[in-house]
Structure 1
Amino acid sequence: MLYYLFEYLNKTMDIPGTGVFQYITFRSALAFMLSLLLSTIYGKRIITFLRNQQVGETVRELGLAGQNEKAGTPTMGGLIIIFATLVPVLLFARLHNIYIILLIVTTLWMGTIGFIDDYIKIFKKDKEGLKGIFKVIGQVGLGLIVGTVLYFSPAVTVRTDTGKSDIFKTPTENVIVQAPVEVKSTATTIPFFKNNEFNYAELLAWTGEGYEKWAWLIFIPVVIFIITAVSNGANLTDGIDGLAAGTSAVSVFALGIFTFVSGNIIFSNYLNIMYIPNSGEMTVFIFSFVGALIGFLWYNSYPASVFMGDTGSLTIGGIIAVLAIAVRKEMLIPLLCGIFLVENFSVVLQVAYFKFTKKRFGEGRRIFLMAPLHHHYQKKGYHESKIVTRFWIVAIMLAILSIVTLKLR
């Protein structure tokens, strides 16, 4: 909203300084500072409200050190993250931008699913929360919306030929060539490869001429799968104080770098990467989101004064997935969100191996002492603050390696 006000003042009154709101970097910095302040200052009030409403965590008997002491700690702290993210976005972002609209819808959509799940657990006293099938339906619904908009909206385009110039000058003549154009495309980026662009439509090339118009049959299911997988991965990672918020902040910050360079014609030209018009505006949302996550850590770090609950974890996963897809870096998710992947994979392995050995030997056996992976290390006697810190370090290393893929091919 403030963006439009200052744009109006700059154009009609030419007031000195109002033009600075045109710059994404300036608005991103303001969004980060405001979200950080909102999450730390108003976060305390939200926690007090949750405590007064007796919105306390019900702790299962897992046999983990310090677990029982967490009983009654307020949950639904994801409301802090959502509030501190959306307020700066509404103030500083260009709200008519298609990517900003998608991210706001994602935040509210996944936040609502998570809120319903937490509400059932706390007030209905049902430890299972929202039935898994309804969670999946909600995630698939969001995937359908995001995939459909990204595929069919005329506002979503790419340019892969940023290195071409409109005019090549020689000492004797000017040779005019066709200017690069923005096109609809389902192209994405494959990390670590020199010719690193892959078009989902190519998977239908065997069907014959005109296969490009059926690319949505591949693209939309891929979007649905990624959103479902990443949101569930974030949900599983939210198991000990500060783990999900800290690792997510690192991943989102890295995505902010990808978003900024992909949305800037100069940087995308220099780095020889896909230019995505108007995507740079997502940087404002990203820095607001990072500020909210860091501010939430003020209260969520060990010993936690509040838990994010599914209200926060599902929202975080959904936002990360949509950001990666929008900036055409979804194939980097296994690396960038390696913590989510390992946590998710540890559960799948544990369950599969237990069922296999029970069928084969009549007794279920386990690979890990407990899944997800962070509980395995707790069982081994590591303090949860040490586990969280080391997972953060791994997340930083993975984020740096992901950023390096801009040049490492």
Structure 2
Amino acid sequence: MPLPFLLPPPVLFLMAAAVGAMFTLNALRPARKFWPLVGAGFFASWLTGELAAHHLFWQVVATALFVWAGGLDGWPGWVALLIVSLSWIGLVRIVFDARKARDVTESALREGLGTEYRSVIPEEIGAHVDDHFSLRQRLFPLPVLDGRVEVVRDIVFSRAGGVNLRLDVYRPRGNTKPRPTVLFVHGGAWVIGSKDDQGKPLAYRLAAHGWVVVSANYRLSPRFTFPDHLIDVKSAIRWIREHGKAYGADPSFLVITGGSAGGHLAALATLTPNDPRYQPGFEDVDTRVQACVPFYGVYDFTDRRGIWRGTLLRTILEKSVMKKRLDDDHAAFEAASPMSLVHEDAPPFFVVHGDRDSLVPVQEARLFVELLRAHSRAPVLYAELPGAQHAFEVFPSERTGHALAAVERFLAHQWAQHRREVAHAEGAEEKRPAGVLGEAADATSAA
């Protein structure tokens, strides 16, 4: 029985095929320079790139329905079939690109930590470091939940500028002992975003595997001005040092991570430990961290290599975040740039970025890693993920699963190293008094 359509089925089929193909093409080659298209292009590319299998499914189903309804009864329908077939090929390529994240991240770990890095990871924290998301979670990406995790929400950790700043604590359900801890800093171009809508795949994964994850808010521009954001991140570190133990955190081992603007703030907090300029009222608190894992971060406010051309980043920084022009106060922008603050005592870094990031060009991450490796004595790992867009790990996708598994392996390795160093230091302390007394006794006998 023919179905009533305002337009012939072949024409409707062609229109639908064109829309689907545009999503696929934009995921493969997202808009980067023409800023009016960048925003919409990013969302389309992001959704298609991380949910490529879902897009392939709906395109196949739609094609079958159009064929059943008579979509091939005219030449537009056959053109549509050709277009949609090419779209499917593109989506399959995106799926395979996502799977490459496993090998890319593993290569980064082996290069940075050594081929035998897994051998030092203890079973109690390393039993699940290769786990992927469940099939149910990959089929239905949202919401991200895990019954093994307990979340304590909306703890006020600071009050600044008339704002109560809150954080959430993700911890293993029923946990009874201090666990290695991760602080997550959300993104949003320093002007939007919150702890409630980012970082959940990472937080639930780590907490389910024995970690404590703290996700904190910070003051946002344009109401507030840099370095207010950084001060708030350091206030969250202070809270973990002073109160984290009551929530299952181990204040002696803290790693910081974040995405985009959160990646910038995480890197900046890591590279400015105990800097009194960013710790007003708590200058004596130790704000050092044991490692940093920035995702698709902004690492340079000065655009020293001309990477930003054609983007809105400079406008956002000058109008909303710094509230001054780069040309008028270059030193202030330098002080806000992780690239300008790399030093030999920086802790280990694992930098993760996508090669199709249309909001923060991948060249930014490459240069930051180059500078870190030239100055830092600690390992600097870099994983450039094929096909990954900005904010890729918001979804529990194929790519995200491989990337977060690698991040967990990195964190587990750092925690194992930390435990060995602590045990070595405690052993040295136990031996030192006897040694000192022995030396004193020998000196007395000689006299």
Ranked by relative contact order (alpha carbons within 8 Å, sequence separation 6 or more), the top structure is: 1
Q: Specify if TM > 0.5.
A: no
Higher fraction of strand? 2
* TM-score calculated relative to the size of structure 2: 0.27
* TM-score calculated relative to the size of structure 1: 0.28
Greater Cα radius of gyration, structure 1 or 2: 2
